[in-house]
Structure 1
Amino acid sequence: MTASVQKRLLVAGPKGGIGKTTLARNIAVAAALDGLAVATLDLDAQRSLTKWYGKRPVDMTPITHYEGEMVVEDVQDAMAGISGFDLVVIDTPPSIEDHPEAFRVLVAAADLILVPTGQSDDDLDSVRPWMRFIRKTSTDAAFILNRVNPRTRSFTEAKSILVSDGRVCPIEIPAYDDVAATSSYGIGILELKGAKGREYVAGVWNFTRAELGIGGPA
């Protein structure tokens, strides 16, 4: 099963340590497992996504990878040159607001922006104004609560606060070790049999797929 039109998913936020790369790679894997032709684009100078891809076993579900710099010329070239896929997942650097011109190019090309966030006050103080800014661009966007403890009061309060600034994915990703550990093996959580957290990542992918208008697996 493939989509008829290439979709671009932008994973972006102003704060480091909120799991942008983890989210990007797990969504890419989930999409590939559903039979989509998937590419990833790493625009973060730390190259975490690229390092993950370099560890990826050759017998896993195929994903094509690209990398570039968060500068206008590189972003424009990538948006024009990466084609022929069902989904392109784009990982961005922290402090993305420091690259306004390149970000504008990305937003103009994106079909959906996911903004991962934790549940702490520091996280919320960072991502809430960022989402308000994104909404002014008229590009579809949603918060993803990531690396959280859903059983705490602060999680419930965070979710209640976030809905005042934008849509929130109804499925969160708890802070399970298995989700982070897959980075060491170049795989996604859905490729690790019996891993804790698989169902949450699958739920986030189902939400993302629906938002992008991509049909389910055949």
Structure 2
Amino acid sequence: MPPAKPATASPKNTARWLSCQSPKGGTGKTTSVLNLATFAARDGLRTAILDTDMQRSLSAWHRLRPADAAPIRLFSRPLTEIEAAIAEIDATPDLDIVLVDTPPAIEYLPQQTSILLDRSDFVLVPATTGKPDVDSVIGWMALLKERRIRSAFLINRASRVTLPAKSKGAEPATGTLSFRDAQRRLNKAGLLCPLPVRQLEDIQNTHGYGVGVCEISGAKGAEDFEAAWDFVRNMMGL
């Protein structure tokens, strides 16, 4: 009787994982994931997104995606099933990058969050400029640093105006007081993406059309997420 053939190993990709995390809702995690994913796909990377939020906002966005848009593969499982999600994606060949949208209050699922952190090559921590958001993400960054997770903040929904100079001959300062205070505090607490994402209607409208801001002709805010994507891509070595 001939010897049994060895089992064929499951295909396994070597995709890099980018996880967007914040303990609070409304900080722009989903907006960041979908827009960064469209830049990745536009640049020719074989791109997948993983929706672990029970609200399924990212999945709803993907269902609206035009047939002729750059391909982005969707995986959708709650964070409670993160091990199964990782196994499914790792067995999917031909992927370069996986971007993960996470639910708010992820600190209440410490075991599952820990598994996702172990799989992530980089964690992006979005925040608005409000004090409660800044306080929350600074605490989260402390945890990431303790675990030696490569990570950075991204300021979202920023309002930027020119403030008057305080003294004669001085250059005017750029940014609202809340923006400048958030920028200062986040930069002190950890690595900060150099350019913020502004509060712009075109960026928010991406949710309703299944596209990223870079895929809307003449849309305002494409340069914001292009800068964020360039930062992330460099940090992840893509």
TM-score range, shorter chain: over 0.9
Following superposition, the deviation at residue 97 of structure 1 comes to 0.5
CA RMSD of aligned residues (A): 1.0
TM-score under structure 1 length normalisation = 0.94
Instruction: Map 1:1-218; keep pairs closer than 5 Å.
Output: 5-71=14-80, 74-83=81-90, 84=93, 85-150=95-160, 151-214=175-238
TM-score under structure 2 length normalisation = 0.86
Residue in 1 aligned with 2:166?
Answer: none
Residue type of the alignment partner of 1:76:
E
Unaligned runs of 5+ in 1: none
Following superposition, the deviation at residue 125 of structure 1 comes to 1.5
Displaced runs of 4 or more, over 6 A: none
Residue type of the alignment partner of 2:98:
V
> Would the aligned equivalents of 1:107 and 1:137 in 2 still touch at CA under 8 Å?
no
Separation (CA, whole Å) in 2 of partners of 1:212 and 1:80? 21
Following superposition, the deviation at residue 127 of structure 1 comes to 0.9
Aligned-pair identity in percent equals 38
Report which of the two structures shows the higher radius of gyration computed on alpha carbons: 2
Residue type of the alignment partner of 1:78:
A
Once the two structures are superposed, residues 98-133 of structure 1 have per-residue CA deviations (whole angstroms, 9 ceiling, x without a partner) of: 110000000000000000001111111111111101
Following superposition, the deviation at residue 45 of structure 1 comes to 0.2
Residue type of the alignment partner of 1:81:
E
Separation (CA, whole Å) in 2 of partners of 1:10 and 1:137? 15
Separation (CA, whole Å) in 1 of partners of 2:15 and 2:71? 17
Residue type of the alignment partner of 1:114:
L
Unaligned runs of 5+ in 2: 1-12, 161-174
Following superposition, the deviation at residue 80 of structure 1 comes to 2.0
Following superposition, the deviation at residue 182 of structure 1 comes to 1.2
Following superposition, the deviation at residue 16 of structure 1 comes to 0.5
